[in-house]
Every structure is written in structure tokens, then in C-alpha cells.
Amino acid sequence: MSTFWRYLKVQAFVLLCGIVGPIFLIIYFASGADPLMGWMFWLGLGITALDVLIALGITALGTQKAAKLAHLEQTGVLALARVVGIHETNTRINERPLVKLDLQITGPGIAPFASQDRVIASMDRLPVITSRKLVALVDPVTNDYQIDWDRSGLISGMLPATFTITEDNRTYDLTGQTEALMEILQILKAHNISLDNMVDLRANPAARQQVQEVVRRAVVQPQAPAGAAPPVSAPPVVAPQMSTAQRLQELETLRASGAISDVEYNAKRQKIIDDL
């Protein structure tokens, strides 16, 4: 969307919210510019000017955010951002809670680092946040980053991830397999292939072959030769485990912010207690 059309869209919304300014101007001029109605002119003019300034500010922020995302999409790397803490901010935006996330971010070509981010915990984002696995586009030079919610929905297991390989006459289900899906997302990004509901790689043989190798490797475990010693695997990397008190505190934060209902709160609290 161009900056001009973005501005028109925002300006129309802002004027709708601050319609009293234009109404005052219309009434003033409809009255024949009656001097007794002069206050309406100046008040309407001030409100309308404020509407324009607000729209310009929102448009500038939106354009800056879009430019940042485009830059990260071109030069950034896909990294895994593990959520190690969720905190209440006592702030709501459009009736949706704003929460603070403690993140541990790791990815190829960047040194692991910790960060905090404030995000809107909308109903579609909440399951992704509580899965504790997000995807971030990271600038490898500055460590500046932005959470990619579409890709996060895939690696968190909230969206199905099935791959059909015609040569195998089989459909593979990699839903929830974080490492394999991250590798596939990195391949798609390297080939400038956007992520949508269905990706057809037949027009890109190189990407198709790389993705197929990852899919097969993820679902087929190689068998060792007879008599050979079993391979020694490195210990898996796991996210830090929270104590019971931390889990209960996080649950209280989610309820206080309105992210979960009382029924969900009681069910989750009982599950935490049952796990003791």
C-alpha cells in the first residue's frame, strides 16, 4: 500500500472519530458565516487540524513500521524467540490487553540474546504466545527485530504443517516440529517465497528439493548398520522450566489482563496443582 493511500485510509478513520470538527465548520458556513457562530469556526478548525496531524502521525508510524519490516525481510535472518516470561502491563488497546514478553532469541548468524517486547495479546495471538515459541526477523548487525506472527503461528503448532511429496505418493505432517519448520521457513525466505496457506514449489526446483530433504529427514530416522554402536546424540536444548509459583503468577497475569476467562483460569490453575 502506497503512503498516499495509507494516509487517506487513516485520515478517513480519524475524521470519522473526530467528526465534530468538520460538523462545526459545516454549521458555521451553512449559517452564512454568522459572527455569533465564530466560536464554531475556530473550534471546528482546531479539531479538524488536530485530526489531520493525528492522521499524518499514524501514517508516518505505519510507513516506518512497513519499511522496517521490508528491510528485515530482505536482510534479516529468521530466529526462534522463546517466551520465558509473560507480564501484565495494565494497559488495553481497543479492549485487547497489552502484555510484556521476556524473550530468548537464537538464530543462524547471530549471537543468542535476551530481549523484552510489548505485544497486543489478541485472541488469535494468545495461543501462539502461550505456546512460548515465536519467530522473529532479526537484523544480524544491530539485533533489531520484529515478531512475525504468521510464521509464529506455523512453528508453534497452531497452524497445520503438511507437505505432499508426489514422488513418495505421501503427505507428511510436521505440525509442531519446531526445528524442521524453522529450517523450511529459512529455505523459503532464502528463495524469496512468501508464506501463505498453500505454497507450491513446483516452479522452484531448488527450493523444492531442499524442502523435501528437510521433510524426509524430519520423519524418517536412519537405521544404524547391524553390529554398529548406536550414535551418541547431543543433549537437546530445552527452554528454561518455570517453577510452580512462576506458572501461577503468569496465570494470574493472563486473567488480570483479560486474556483468559475465569473458566479457563480455574481449569489451568487446577492443572498446575495436579502436576505437583
Question: For residue 93, what are the β-bridge partners?
Answer: 96
Instruction: Classify residue 97: in a domain, yes or no.
Output: yes
The reported pLDDT for the residue numbered 137 is: 92
> Would 253 be classed as within a structural domain?
no
pTM above 0.75, yes or no: no
Residue 144 and residue 83 share a domain: yes
Say if 154 falls within a structural domain.
no
Question: How do beta strands 110-120 and 96-107 pair?
Answer: antiparallel
Decide if 120 is inside a domain.
yes
* Containing structural domain, residue 169: 162-220
Is 228 a member of any domain?
no
Q: What is the DSSP string of 44-111?
A: HHHHHHHHHHHHHHHHHHHHHHHHHHHHHHHH-EEEEEEEEEEEEEEEEETTEEEEEEEEEEEETTEE
The pLDDT tens digits for 199-252 are: 778 888 898 899 999 999 988 654 445 455 555 544 444 445 566 666 766 777
Q: 113-124: buried (b, 16+ CB within 10 Å) or exposed (e) per residue?
A: eeeebebebbee
pLDDT confidence band for 168 (50 / 70 / 90): confident
Residue at which a domain ends, from 94, 117, 148: 148
Asked, for residue 226, whether it belongs to a domain, the answer is: no
Kindly report, residue by residue over 106-156, the tens digit of the pLDDT.
Answer: 998 899 999 999 998 888 888 899 899 999 999 988 999 999 998 999 888
Please tell me whether residues 20 and 49 are part of one structural domain.
Answer: yes
Question: Is residue 11 scored above 50 in pLDDT?
Answer: yes
Residues 123 and 99 placed together within one structural domain of the fold? yes
> How many domains, the chain?
3
Mean pLDDT estimate for the chain: 81
In this prediction, residue 238 carries a pLDDT of: 44
